[in-house]
Amino acid sequence: MCKRFFLLLASALLIGIGTRAFAASTTLVDISGTSYETAFSFLQSRGVVQGYTDGTGRPYNMLNRAEALKVIALSEKKLSKRVEWYQDNMPPLPLFSDVNQNDWYAPYVEALFEAGILQGYPDGTFRGSRPLSVEEAVTLLMRTTEGLDEGNSAKLSPYISNQSNVWFTPFINTAIQRNLIMKQQMLRMGNAITRGQFFDIVYRQMFINESGDKIFEETEPPVIVYQNNSSSSSSTSTSSNGTPIYVPQPSSTPSTSNPNASEKYFAISMPTLGIHDLAVNHPEDPFSQQGVLSPLQHGIGHLFSYPGGGGKIMMYGHSSGYPWDVSEYTKIFRKVSELNRGDKIYITYSGELYTYEVTFEQTIDAKDTSPFNDNGSGEELILYTCWPPDSIAQRYLVHARKIETVALSE
């Protein structure tokens, strides 16, 4: 059992997302030539987005709720000034039960709550580390503007899903009416939004606010040509400077009858190990021991990036447990060392089947987090467990690269 290290790893890497220093480079190596180049350039010029220390912008990585607040505040001068005030005048008691007033994002929580933009969850939590969903992203941004569409009948768009008579209907309606959604994607309710998708909406909204227009009428970015992975070993395009760009596959990809596909929203299959349709769960609270361990009661856990989002994708599970623990998943990763280079790992996520190929395995020290540093080299799946079985002395990692993405029929 690796309780302490799971918590250490989650804290070290996830907290780093919110407090990471940014690079001064004006050209982000993984943004040039993508559909998000204009949005990133615009936001960089306004001081809203600057990129990571390695010179990347990581447009296909997920965005968490705390990060989103910072972007929104920096895009609005009044909000930014209120954040600065709260940084020196924090109230003694937090607005939400899971926010510490010393957290880097606490001043942003105070400022956006004061402005009526942030409301939190019914149980009194903020859940800052939780990936920001499409409907949450649009709602937060539309709350910063005037002239909200008050209708409860859903406007329809081929670029974003919508429903009538639900809490997000007016906000999605407004985004559609103002042409804030890029016309080469399909944003679905309940899915996590990527950095690029969110930044593009922020850019469009800032643009029309500065221009005085009511609708975004600028030229759409060039359409990125998605590769057909049936004849390719990786899901990449190439930027103008030759840098690989990892892009999600379009929803028009043919359906599949692959037996390793799942009807679950997030699941993994490893035929070599006899593991099929195993549930993958992201912890709602990756900053506490109980939160990190909770997904292991129902399958395996997940941290960091998501399939199709680029970066490091960590999936962790037990290789051993206490003698009295006879639960179904307490030794689910006990045989991961039997995976060999070239073996396939199948992950179903958000209606798509991602196929990964094992590249290498390694055993590392229990405190070593270096394999999870995102150096911008692309998407990598890492299976992680304590090692050897019935010990916590080391960690065993299986590395795999994405070789195919196929949309599943609905």
Query: What digits encode the pLDDT tens for the residues 207-224?
Result: 999 888 889 987 777 654
Greater confidence, 157 or 55?
A: 157
Greater confidence, 308 or 262?
A: 262
Q: 367: pLDDT confidence band, cut at 50, 70 and 90?
A: confident
Task: Say whether pLDDT at 139 is over 80.
Answer: yes
Sign of CA dihedral 111, 11, 308, 312: positive
**Averaged pLDDT, 378-387:** 91
Residue 352 phi/psi, 5-degree rounding, is -130, 150
| Average pLDDT of the chain to the nearest whole number | 81
Strand partners, 346: 269, 355
What pLDDT, on a 0 to 100 scale, did the predictor assign at position 382?
96
What pLDDT, on a 0 to 100 scale, did the predictor assign at position 161?
87
Global confidence as pTM: 0.56
Amino acid at 202: V
Alpha-carbon distance of 360 to 378, in angstroms, equals 16
Q: 273: pLDDT confidence band, cut at 50, 70 and 90?
A: very high
Strand partners, 359: none
What pLDDT, on a 0 to 100 scale, did the predictor assign at position 146?
84
Greater confidence, 246 or 197?
A: 197
C-alpha distances in Å from residue 320, one per residue of 3, 272, 367, 391: 12, 20, 19, 8
Q: Can you list the domains of the chain with their CATH numbers?
A: 3-9+253-407 (2.40.260.10), 19-211 (no CATH)
Q: What does the block give as tokens for 108?
A: 């942003």
Task: Among 74-83, 97-106, 218-227, 358-367, name the one with the lowest average pLDDT.
Answer: 218-227
Q: Please say whether the beta carbons of 142 and 117 come within 8 A.
A: no
Sign of CA dihedral 247, 250, 251, 255: negative
